[in-house]
A and B are shown apart, each in its own frame.
Chain A
Amino acid sequence: MSSMSNVNASTQFVQAGDYRYAYRRFGTGSTYPLLFLQHFTGTLDNWDPAVTDPLAKERDAILFDNAGVGRSSGKVPDTVAAMAKHALAFLDTLGIKTCDVLGYSLGGMVAQRMVQDRSSIFSKMILVATAPRGGEDIMHLEKPSLAAHLNNPELKGSKVLQKLFFPPTERSQAAGAAFSQRLIQRTEDRDPISGPEAAQAQMAAFREWEHYSGERFADLRRIRQPTLVLNGVHDKMTPVSNSYWLSANLPNAVLITYPDSGHEALFQLYESFTRQVSAFLSSASPQAPF
């Protein structure tokens, strides 16, 4: 029986030209999958089963390690455009002409670039805690509010992520601890943790993504796909103003922001999040309002 969970779905590999990409595919076996594109330094094992599994009940979920991440070969590219190229090559090799996408943080930027390069690739888009090209204050980990956690020697492993992602309120930190526990439910066939090289290249990609030429956000107006934009209102890594710009400039997007949550809103409020995303993906309406 095929797996329905990121806790035990086996990692698969596909060769595309010179590259070998690692991925997991699980769910209903639908021909119309939902592609998950991951955040900064995240691997297949950073996808919260509380988010992936409910969504895989109605479709196939495909989790994907971009080049150089986890067990995918090659070097991590230092531009979003190059990451988009890898993701398109990966989908081509699987024979997927159109799918839906859930792009989170860096993954949301890659998704935007993919659909600009090939508008037919996505039917619907979910952009979570991310930013448009020309957005601002994208992943400046040197900011004191973020550097304090990264440089705290007392914080190890998932605790760093918990402090970075989740607001300091008691409720949010408890949600963060639960999230960390869910990520270690998977005990076998795990990806290696990303090293400093991957982090450096992805950081360079963020810096490049902050630059724009011509009219700011004009590129967004060509994205016709129904899009759901979601964020926590207290996101310190990709501030919520970036989501406001997406909402103001994408022609067919609904924006939802959540209280008492930040970059991790999808993991903290996973029940509400997966309910909203399911309703959006299941709708037959060509309008984003589902």
Chain B
Amino acid sequence: MTYTHISAPTEFAEANGIRFAYRRFGKSDGVPLLFMPHYRAGMDHWDPAVTDRFAASRPVILFDNAGVADSSGETPDTMEAMADDAANFAGALGVTTIDVLGHSIGGYIAQTLALRHPKMVRRLILAGTGPRAGEPSKDPKVREWADSTDSETGESSLEAFLYLFFRPSATSQAAGKAFWERRHRRKQAADRASTPQTMAAQRAAIITWSKAAGERDVQPEDIRQPTLIVNGNHDIMIPTINSFNLSQRIAQAQLIIYPDSGHGALFQFAELFVAHGTLFLDAPDRS
């Protein structure tokens, strides 16, 4: 049977002493697309309007990185360690070549993965993200909303998402609520909320990432993979200028910016984003 975002069972793979939770669905052949989510997020934070649409043309793999949600171990506090964990996880599945979609902090890890494990990564999609030592958020409320927790669910609230990922316009807010409804359609075996340890470690990694890079650190100039960079035109979390910056520094980067949208543009414009992403992933290599 063919699994979807909603029906795919959570499976586990062991690597380096970590038991990684993952779900795999979509086409059985082709280069898998590995999803790397935003701050605090596990597999259930993905939008089925994005994952299922990509799954129509390729295998899709969602996973919880070390210490996150249903995976065992502790969340490390550097992007490098998170990228190595992801590579170990892919290795445990026997996957040698992947495409990677990284959103927000997932985009930081995806860049790091592409540099530390260049032969493993074929193409990159970077959504709502930025380079090391990028432009910080100028919105004073972002940090508070990002760390806020709904006491009933132990998760970020709808209100937090509407503030952080969407624009104040009626259109964008409506898109945010539709996103929220879609991402809660899966009822079975939902993964656990991320722990304070995960939040603290990811926060520490983000702070290190926000500082100027030493010469051995990640530089987008060294990324050789064809890359698609997408964002909303008013991202208040990782300001859109960081997407511009990445697109000027990664040699083979195409940039797409959507209107009246922010950090969650990939969810607000799910259908178009996947159309753009699929065109990009399936395009022939430029010689």
* Residue ranges of A at the interface with B (Cβ–Cβ < 8 Å): 171, 233, 240, 244, 247-248, 250-260, 287-290
Return the 7 tightest CB-CB contacts between A and B, nearest first: A255-B257, A257-B255, A289-B272, A247-B257, A289-B269, A247-B233, A259-B252
Interface segment, one of B60-68, B88-96, B133-141, B240-248: B240-248
Q: A248-B240, A289-B269 are in contact. Are A257 and B259 (CB under 8 A)?
A: no
Determine whether the beta carbon of A256 is less than 8 Å from that of B255: yes
- Total residue contacts A-B, CB cutoff 8 A: 54
Give the distance to chain A from B52, nearest Cβ to Cβ, in Å: 19
Determine whether the beta carbon of B254 is less than 8 Å from that of A255: no
B84 at the interface (CB under 8 A from A): no
A260, B254: Cα distance in complex, Å: 10
Give the distance to chain A from B75, nearest Cβ to Cβ, in Å: 34
| B residues less than 8 Å from A251 (CB atoms) | 259-260
B234 at the interface (CB under 8 A from A): yes
Give the distance to chain A from B35, nearest Cβ to Cβ, in Å: 22
Q: A248-B240, A260-B251 are in contact. Are A290 and B256 (CB under 8 A)?
A: no
Specify the chain A residue showing the minimal Cβ separation from B279: A275
A100, B138: Cα distance in complex, Å: 38
Q: A247-B233, A248-B234 are in contact. Are A255 and B255 (CB under 8 A)?
A: yes
| B residues less than 8 Å from A250 (CB atoms) | 259
User: Out of A233, A252, A287, A290, which one reaches B248, CB within 8 Å?
Assistant: A233
Determine whether the beta carbon of A233 is less than 8 Å from that of B255: yes
| B residues less than 8 Å from A256 (CB atoms) | 254-257
A253, B269: Cα distance in complex, Å: 13
Determine whether the beta carbon of A290 is less than 8 Å from that of B272: yes
| B residues less than 8 Å from A258 (CB atoms) | 254
| B residues less than 8 Å from A244 (CB atoms) | 241, 244, 257
B253 at the interface (CB under 8 A from A): yes
Specify the chain A residue showing the minimal Cβ separation from B283: A272
B180 at the interface (CB under 8 A from A): no
A256, B253: Cα distance in complex, Å: 11
Give the distance to chain A from B21, nearest Cβ to Cβ, in Å: 33
Determine whether the beta carbon of A288 is less than 8 Å from that of B254: no
> Could you list 27 examples of A-B contacts with CB < 8 Å?
A171-B286, A240-B248, A244-B244, A248-B233, A248-B234, A248-B240, A251-B259, A252-B260, A253-B233, A254-B256, A254-B257, A254-B259, A256-B254, A256-B255, A257-B247, A257-B254, A257-B255, A258-B254, A259-B250, A259-B251, A259-B254, A260-B251, A287-B259, A288-B259, A289-B258, A289-B272, A290-B272
